[in-house]
Structure 1
Amino acid sequence: MNIKSFTSLRGLACLAVVGTHVWTLFDLQRLITARYGVDSFQNKIAIFVDRTFNGQAAVEVFFVLSGCVLALSLMSGSAANKPSWVKTFYVKRFFRIYPALWLSIALALALWPLIKTGLSSPAYSAWATSAFPAKISAPLVGLSLASIYVHLNWPMWTLRVELFYSVLFPAIYLLVQNPRTRKPFLVFLALVALAPIPRTLSLHYALAFGLGALIPLTRGISHFRYRLIGLGLIPVLMYSRILLEGIFDVKNIETMEILIAFGIVYCLFHNKRRMPLLDRPIFEYMGTISYSVYVLHFPIVFGLGACVVKALGTSAVQQQPLLMASLLGVSTLIITLPLSMLSNKFVEDAGNTLGKRLAASWYGRRQEAPILAATVEEQ
């Protein structure tokens, strides 16, 4: 397994989510169509960039990766300390997710006076104008800190899914690990994903976590071109939605994307060769700080969007929508990356360390885990 490729994939997926939010803050299609026409070169660029980011597919990569990483973590934990491995898992998971999430809520509250000034701009998309509540109250803040209410920081909806399946994951792991229950359980998850259940319940994402948990249990195939196929599946995941839209509903498209994401993660897990793109240090570091980038970027995007509208005016966005969106993207990275570096060092690492210490003191110190599992567990 190439740890660098795993980490870099998380970084690329995170950048795709950031790009999606930047690109959908302004109503680019409406603005470009009004100024240049629906068949204009500018409109084709906007559509191509939007399809390339495909933030939803990136989220599905996150879920499959989580299933794989959590399975590796439990494989080491259950073998090392059977009586307490589930409790240890829950404690570590809590301190892995919540500290940076709380920081993101604090950032959203700090930027709220600025953010709300831009929400009424005619340049904003319908999605952007409804991304935040009309009024922030103490109960909403409390629910946000618990990751129950997600509209103070939109990406938190995925963390709510992550938390839900983290609670269920020890059971998912045991069912996938047991050879007798593995196939029936995965078939059950596939049927749930394909069943006419409302997408808002997020039950189809169980398939992503189940398939992710399966990956460490699979054997490699000799002479299989993992690197070539893994890299080749990335553009398939990015652009398959273009072909599937109009044929399938959104939930079924996401289910197909989960299967493609599984193929990518499976190939990266078994690949032992260098990946020319994914093994670059810059992408590996992006993967290291990706969680902080993921939870912090959203209020920054909206704060900067309000600054653009306030400083340059709505007319500037209407006259040069692509330029303004690009400016917003660059500015978002310039501010988000340094802040995420600090968050990773002083918030994420501190939370991980505290979680490990509490788990050790409450449930007894675990034996030293294998290097591979310990390295992956940090991600």
Structure 2
Amino acid sequence: MQTLGLVAPVLGFYHRFLRFFIRFILLMFMDIPSTFNFLTQLTELGCGFLLLGYVSRIFNILGLLLIFLSCLRFLRSPIGKPPREENLKEEIENNNNSSSGGSGSREENLEDEMFDVVSLRKMVKSERQRFNAACAEIEKERGAAASAAEEAMAMILRLQSEKSAVEIQATQFRRVVEQKQEYDLEVIESLQWTVEQVESQKNLLERQLGVLRERLRDFLNDHDIQQRVQEQDQEGEQDQEREQEKERDQEQEKERDQEQEKEQDHEQEKEQEKEQEKEQEKEREKEREKEQDEEREKEREEEREKEREKEQEKELEHEPEHEQGTASDVDLDLDLAVVDEDIERDEDADSGSGFLNFSVEYNDDLDAASSQNPSPTQTPQHL
């Protein structure tokens, strides 16, 4: 039905266009003889029957026949008929043939419509999926482009920072090199000046030696002069040997000092190892003392629990005397707390002799407490 609704206006438009075209052709054919006569009159050359003018009537008759035949063909052709009338006739014939066929066609039309709707929905879903996939790809490409741009910016910044650092280092190196060059030039100039001074002094001394030799020749012979020169050379060699011996002695002393330093370092390492061992032993002793203290505390707690159990048993046995017993127990607890504090102080002061002092003080305190507070078994006799 939808396809028919779309085809009907198209066919109507096509029918109107054909009518307009036929009218235009008719007008053109009606004007052919007049135009042909006009052309034959203007032409200077032509056949005899054209110049005489007998052909105009024949052309008019032929044009009318052609127009009539063309109209008949267009009217008989299926294009000239409107599509709506054909569709209506077909529907009427189908309805007259069979009602069952009509119901089947309606169901088929409905199924076609449903199929068209489902197909359109599927097409829409597929297009949406494609659109979403394209959007996801575009977003991925944008993310990749953004990440690439960020990486490029980070690389650019890193390269710029490295470039600036290299430039700073280059400037510093240039300054250092320039300073070294200046210092080297100053040293070279000073050395040149000293060399010039030494050469000048040498020249002066050589001149003085020449003068002195001439004076000596006046007083001494050449043989004496040579002997003195040899003696001077020997003295110089002896001085050199002495200097070499001194250098050897200094080297030996340096070697001895190095050996002594090595021995001292070795002794220091041994002392450090001994100190470390002592510290480890002290730590072990401290750990042992801590363990002993923990064991003592556990023993004290066990003794206290035992005493409490005994006291509870005695209280159960002597319920009427509970008040007096509670007072004595409170005093004992206070005395025990004081004794514990004293014991802890003694242990901090003397870790080695703490256990013995604790045992003695603990027994003495218990004896004093028992002497001050009589036992609950003696209370009835006293009363």
TM-score normalised over the length of structure 1: 0.19
Q: As a proportion of its length, which structure holds more helix?
A: 2
Ranked by relative contact order (alpha carbons within 8 Å, sequence separation 6 or more), the top structure is 1
Higher Rg: 2
TM-score normalised over the length of structure 2: 0.18
